[in-house]
Amino acid sequence: MADPRVVVYSKPGCHLCEDMHAQVQKALHGTGVAVAERDISLDLDLFVRYQHDIPILAIDGREVARHRITEQALTSALRVAGIL
């Protein structure tokens, strides 16, 4: 199975993570591409790397945002990836 193209790194109880996930999900509506969520609290390496920087948005394995992303920047990143 291929890795997901769009991933939000998050952890439970993170309101910024919930906001970013919803924002990305809305931007992807109708594209056939789903946003995956990776819970950093379940992976020690991810937790050590991202514990103070979530949410992280990655597209095709490349980090494109930390904490927040504007609608314009998100649209641009999805276009560059050929998703929109």
pLDDT at 2 (0 to 100):
72
Which domains, ranges and CATH numbers included, belong to the chain?
6-80 (3.40.30.10)
Q: CB neighbours (10 Å) of residue 70?
A: 10
pLDDT (tens digit, 0 to 9) for every residue of the chain, 84 residues total? 678 899 999 999 999 999 999 999 999 999 999 999 999 999 999 999 999 999 999 999 999 999 999 999 999 999 999 999
First to last CA, the chain: 23
